[in-house]
Amino acid sequence: MTRTVSASEFDTDPFVLATKDKWIDLKTGQPSNPNPNMLVSKAISVSYSPEAECPVFLNFLNDVF
């Protein structure tokens, strides 16, 4: 089945980031299951892992702020 959509239907919530297995609300940091009725164009190719550490990014933030 093919569905035609317009660009305005994507990213109706600009604070949602899609991972391989979850969607993350960038305002709250809370993960949720993907909603097939919502079109999200901002995606990363990694799985969500709440235990993951990011020392390089945290060092960057410390340097900038």
pLDDT tens figures, 18-65: 999 999 999 999 999 999 899 999 999 999 999 999 999 999 999 999
Q: Is the pLDDT of residue 3 over 90?
A: no
Q: How far apart are CA 62 and CA 65, in angstroms?
A: 5
Check residue 7 and give its pLDDT: 94
Give 11-31 as a DSSP string: -SSTTEEE-SS-EEETTT--E
According to the model, what pLDDT value does residue 1 have? 80
Locate the domains of the chain by residue range. Answer: 12-48
Tokens linked to 5: 């959509």
Q: Is the pLDDT of residue 12 over 90?
A: yes
pTM tops 0.85, yes or no: no
